[in-house]
């Protein structure tokens, strides 16, 4: 039988290769074992395999005897290494119990510290340490965290009891509490536990240990963990490992401390010591944002004009030892590290080191710098940057010339800028965001339970916490601007009001935050768009080189409907336009009237006049787009939207139209009602419009070809591709193709020009995929409209599915949202079949994909594997797709 428990530290020999496998022992367990093996000061401990988590969940949450025996032997290893006994009243061993999945999920699962304390061992700890205050403080911390995590007691009950105790004694801070005050609070905490659970606080240390282990396993399926996994595409079957480690105490005395350090700046990527620390505190005080920490370095403290001494100044020897480990750690892990450390009575201990979360800008700089330093290669640099994180670089920043009404300053925890309405809880953030509002989540401090609100918000502002608190770490990972430790924020939740910098504000008021400077401003401040240069350009060049060298290249085009979209697409390296949607053009104010006159007028002359007006406007639309995309291909989709989508909605629109075409309002309303469709997705749309109303498509084709002829030779697109939407029979496509060729031939003959023109089919319904061989006889290219193909294959609308897809993912009906990542098993089979049949008919058939999936890394990898020529994404997602394409090429 394979081992289930893997000891580390204090000379623990580990021949089993699974001890360093993150899939088995999690990232935390693997990293601790690795650091211990190279001689770093790691407290001894052991890790329980993540495989046990799955067995625990499937086995009615039972722990078997074999696991208990292995854990007992591992506890004996820690006892031998420390010279202390687990449950020994005279010389007690205390341990921490932490989660550790194979990928970092900061704050999403549970941790228990100071486990092993009870009414007897607290006395032994007081005697052994010579510090009763420290012992009773540790005991009250343990009861609070164990009561919350393992027993389900509302943590606010403990917090309220602490505040009452400080108020009764006239204290303002925890450090003023003495041993007798903590001892009295322990009695209050134990009473709270018994009142809430109906049982006394457990005194048996084995009961404590297995209760904590079970709680960590259970936290893998907590609501916040499920949400985080869903947002980050982490499989639920992975489970979490559990690491049990000897406690070291940063709250021992004034020569003890705790902190978090990064080997490089996680916001900018600069190679400098970055982090925070607290004297006489435990790690949870920093990570959970319970106290606002101090700076690690003197330079950082002076830059912030902070008064409390930095670690570099207050504990120079421990700081020198810590900073001296940075190079060694980076050489071992070949990446930037996030380090949790404790100093116990002057001695440094490393509690955890993991690959650090970072902004996209920092990731780019680190990758390029590490290649220059010889730490990694170009392929490593490409592979380690999350493609979707590049979207952070495209977020707006504040207009430097715009006026600002400064309210307060906090800690710049995650860069970027955002304006929005104040919301004071996660539920309100999610609710208002669903209505289309931009919201800023303002909290005293965030907790893992706020994850859904943080995701819904455009920015986050907290009153407490530092730059390594939960809010900061999660916001950086999500790409949200965030400011923490804003002492000038005071929140009255009962009244749903707050003050910022002494100014009274209410929920719903607009504020702006700048996560790069820590500034909070009243009202909305104009934003500017960033430009991508420097490290971004270097990485993109590497990505293109890798794709070319491997021979597994897939092009990246852009979905672009305007000249501005085209300019952005070219700036970001798009290889052409993969989808130009023409119906968006019809909704512009200066032409919607003509569209409505064409639809509802009975007079042939008025219809023809409306089309002539639209022809002029469409011609200019296409001319401007073609000019921007000089030398690159442009695919134009003919009108797809049902005509009733352009009909008037309000009384004013009907009145105006009535005057223009001479029909009464009531008559127009009846005509509109007659055009109503019960299922517009499957109604008179796409190529069916070209069959029923051929003059619409004829006008569009004429505009396209005349626009191309209006440009001088060599100044237009490399070629123009006209896409016929929703075609599912060869006869349909042949009819539309004939119309296109007749109009284009006439225009080209009159102009005396030869414009490269291709006609293709959008594959958007299952029948089109099945009949791809027939369609390829009429089409010179295919473009998969993956949004509609997914809807028609699954039989569910994208917008409606959003309301229940979360439940489907929780039940593992789908592994990922099929509207975000292509459904490889279902939709993917249709795509592969269509490609096979299409190229069997026409071997040189060009094939692309232009749905929302064109920017999804997993979907891009599928498209590369199927042999597609290109994917097409929104202009701002083109860099994401380019990087994802290079990563897919490396893995292929």
Catalytic sites, residue numbers: 470, 850
Q: Taking the CA of residue 100 as centre, how many other CA atoms within 13 Å lie in the half-sphere pointing to its CB?
A: 33
Q: Torsions phi, psi of 555, nearest 5?
A: -70, 160
| Encoded tokens for 74 | 């591992």
CB-based contact 764:719 (threshold 8 Å):
no
User: For residues 643 and 596, what is the distance between their CA atoms, to the nearest angstrom?
Assistant: 9
User: For residues 513 and 412, what is the distance between their CA atoms, to the nearest angstrom?
Assistant: 10
Find, among 398, 420, 357, 424, the residue nearest to 517 by Cα.
398
User: For residues 862 and 888, what is the distance between their CA atoms, to the nearest angstrom?
Assistant: 9
Residue 244 pairs in a beta bridge with 46, 97
Residues with Cβ within 8 Å of 223's Cβ and at least 6 positions away in sequence, in order, are: 449
Find, among 795, 791, 819, 792, the residue nearest to 805 by Cα.
819
Angle at 634 between CA 742 and CA 571, to 5 degrees: 160
Task: Compute and round to an integer the Cα radius of gyration of the chain.
Answer: 32
Torsion of CA 167, 168, 171, 176, to 10 degrees: -130
| Encoded tokens for 180 | 């007798």
What secondary structure, in 3-state letters, does 286-299 show?
A: HHCCCCCCEECCHH
Find, among 203, 209, 207, the residue nearest to 78 by Cα.
209
CB-based contact 295:301 (threshold 8 Å):
yes
CB-based contact 269:362 (threshold 8 Å):
yes
Q: Torsions phi, psi of 253, nearest 5?
A: -170, -170
Q: Torsions phi, psi of 179, nearest 5?
A: -55, -45
238-250: string of b/e by CB count within 10 Å (b at 16+)? Answer: bbbbbbbbbbbbb
User: For residues 453 and 223, what is the distance between their CA atoms, to the nearest angstrom?
Assistant: 13
User: For residues 343 and 681, what is the distance between their CA atoms, to the nearest angstrom?
Assistant: 64
Please give the span between the terminal C-alpha atoms of the chain, in angstroms, as a whole number.
35
Sheet containing strand 347-355, edge to edge, reads 294-295, 274-279, 257-262, 337-344, 347-355
| Encoded tokens for 821 | 């990542």
| Encoded tokens for 246 | 């000897």
User: For residues 428 and 431, what is the distance between their CA atoms, to the nearest angstrom?
Assistant: 5
CB-based contact 26:240 (threshold 8 Å):
yes
Tokens 């070209």 locate to: 690
Q: Is the dihedral of CA 12, 17, 21, 23 positive or negative?
A: negative
Q: Torsions phi, psi of 266, nearest 5?
A: -75, -10
User: For residues 887 and 385, what is the distance between their CA atoms, to the nearest angstrom?
Assistant: 9
Tokens 């935390």 locate to: 28
Residue 847 pairs in a beta bridge with 782
Tokens 């089979």 locate to: 829
CB-based contact 410:486 (threshold 8 Å):
yes
DSSP H helical segments within 310-423, as ranges?
Answer: 311-314, 316-333, 360-372, 378-384
User: For residues 419 and 156, what is the distance between their CA atoms, to the nearest angstrom?
Assistant: 31
User: For residues 405 and 197, what is the distance between their CA atoms, to the nearest angstrom?
Assistant: 50
């Amino acid at each position: 039988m394979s081992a289930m428990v893997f000891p580390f530290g204090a000379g623990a020999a580990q021949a089993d290769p699974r001890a360093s496998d993150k899939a088995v022992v999690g990232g935390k367990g693997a990293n601790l074992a690795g650091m211990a093996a190279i001689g770093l000061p790691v407290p001894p401990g052991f890790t329980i395999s993540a495989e046990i988590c799955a067995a625990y969940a499937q086995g009615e949450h039972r722990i078997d005897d074999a696991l208990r025996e292995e854990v007992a032997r591992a506890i004996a290893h820690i006892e031998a290494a420390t010279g202390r006994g687990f449950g020994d009243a005279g010389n007690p061993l205390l341990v921490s119990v932490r989660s550790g999945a194979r990928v970092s999920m900061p704050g999403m699962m549970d941790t228990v510290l100071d486990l092993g304390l009870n009414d007897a061992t607290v006395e032994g700890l007081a005697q052994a340490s010579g510090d009763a205050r420290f012992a009773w403080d540790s005991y009250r911390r343990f009861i609070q965290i164990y009561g919350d995590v393992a027993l389900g007691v509302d943590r606010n009950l403990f917090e309220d009891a602490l505040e009452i105790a400080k108020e009764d004694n006239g204290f303002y801070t925890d450090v003023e509490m003495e041993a007798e005050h903590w001892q009295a609070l322990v009695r209050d905490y134990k009473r709270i536990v018994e009142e809430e659970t109906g049982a006394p606080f457990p005194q048996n240390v084995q009961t404590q240990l297995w209760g904590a282990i079970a709680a960590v396993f259970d936290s893998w399926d907590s609501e916040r963990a499920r949400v985080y996994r869903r947002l980050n595409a982490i499989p639920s079957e992975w489970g979490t490992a559990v690491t049990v480690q000897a406690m070291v105490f940063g709250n021992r005395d004034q020569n003890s401390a705790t902190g978090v350090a990064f080997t490089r700046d996680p916001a900018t990527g600069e190679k400098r010591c970055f982090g925070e620390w607290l004297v006489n505190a435990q790690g949870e005080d920093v990570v959970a944002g319970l106290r606002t920490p101090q700076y690690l370095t003197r330079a950082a403290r002076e830059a912030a004009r902070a008064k409390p001494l930095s670690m570099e100044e207050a504990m120079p020897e421990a700081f020198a030892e810590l900073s001296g480990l940075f190079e060694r750690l980076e050489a071992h892990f070949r990446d930037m590290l996030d380090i949790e450390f404790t100093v116990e009575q002057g001695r440094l201990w490393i509690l955890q080191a993991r690959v650090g979360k970072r902004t996209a800008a920092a990731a780019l700089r680190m990758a390029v710098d590490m290649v220059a330093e010889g730490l990694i290669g170009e392929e490593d640099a490409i592979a380690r940057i999350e493609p979707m994180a590049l979207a952070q670089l495209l977020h707006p920043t504040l207009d430097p010339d715009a006026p600002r009404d400064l309210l307060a300053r906090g800690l710049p925890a995650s860069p970027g800028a955002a304006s929005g309405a104040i919301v004071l809880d996660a539920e309100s953030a999610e609710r208002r965001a669903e209505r289309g509002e931009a919201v800023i989540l303002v909290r005293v401090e965030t907790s893992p339970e706020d994850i859904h609100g943080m995701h819904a918000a455009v920015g986050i502002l907290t009153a407490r916490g530092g730059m390594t608190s939960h809010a900061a770490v999660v916001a950086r990972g999500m790409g949200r601007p965030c400011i923490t430790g804003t002492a000038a924020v005071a929140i009255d939740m009962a009244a749903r009001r707050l003050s910022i910098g002494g100014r009274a504000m209410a929920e719903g008021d607009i504020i702006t935050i700048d996560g790069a400077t820590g500034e909070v401003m009243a009202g909305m401040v104009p934003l500017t768009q960033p430009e991508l240069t420097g490290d971004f350009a270097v990485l993109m060049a590497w990505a293109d080189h890798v794709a070319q060298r491997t021979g597994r290249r897939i092009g990246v085009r852009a979905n672009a409907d305007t000249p501005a979209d085209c300019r952005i697409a070219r700036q970001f390296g798009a290889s052409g336009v993969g989808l130009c949607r023409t119906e968006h053009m019809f909704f512009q104010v200066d032409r919607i009237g003509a569209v409505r006159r064409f639809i509802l007028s009975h007079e042939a002359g008025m219809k023809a006049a409306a089309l002539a007006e639209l022809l002029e406007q469409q011609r200019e639309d296409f001319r401007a787009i073609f000019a921007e995309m000089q030398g690159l291909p442009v695919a134009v989709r003919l009108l797809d939207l049902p005509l009733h989508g352009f009909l008037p909605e309000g009384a004013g629109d009907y009145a105006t139209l009535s005057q223009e075409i001479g029909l009464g309002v009531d008559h127009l309303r009846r005509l509109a009602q007659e055009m109503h469709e019960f299922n517009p997705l499957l109604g008179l749309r796409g190529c069916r419009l070209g069959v029923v109303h051929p003059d619409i498509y004829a006008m569009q084709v004429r505009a396209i070809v005349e626009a191309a002829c209006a440009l001088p030779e060599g100044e237009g697109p490399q070629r123009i591709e006209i896409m016929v939407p929703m075609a599912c029979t060869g006869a349909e496509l042949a009819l539309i193709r004939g119309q296109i060729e007749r109009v284009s031939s006439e225009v080209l003959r009159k102009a005396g020009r030869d414009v490269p023109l291709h006609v293709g089919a959008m594959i958007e319904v299952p029948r089109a995929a099945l009949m791809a061989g027939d369609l390829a006889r009429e089409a010179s290219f295919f473009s998969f409209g993956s949004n509609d193909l997914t809807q028609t294959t699954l039989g569910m609308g994208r917008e409606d599915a959003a309301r229940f897809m979360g439940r489907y993912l929780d039940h593992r009906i789908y592994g990922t949202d099929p509207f975000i990542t292509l459904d490889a098993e279902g939709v993917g089979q249709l795509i592969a079949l269509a490609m096979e049949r299409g190229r069997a008919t026409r071997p040189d058939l060009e094939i692309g994909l232009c749905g929302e999936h064109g920017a999804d890394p997993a979907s891009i990898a599928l498209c590369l594997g199927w042999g597609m020529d290109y994917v097409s994404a929104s202009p701002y997602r083109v860099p994401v797709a380019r990087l994802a394409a290079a990563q897919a090429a490396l893995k292929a």
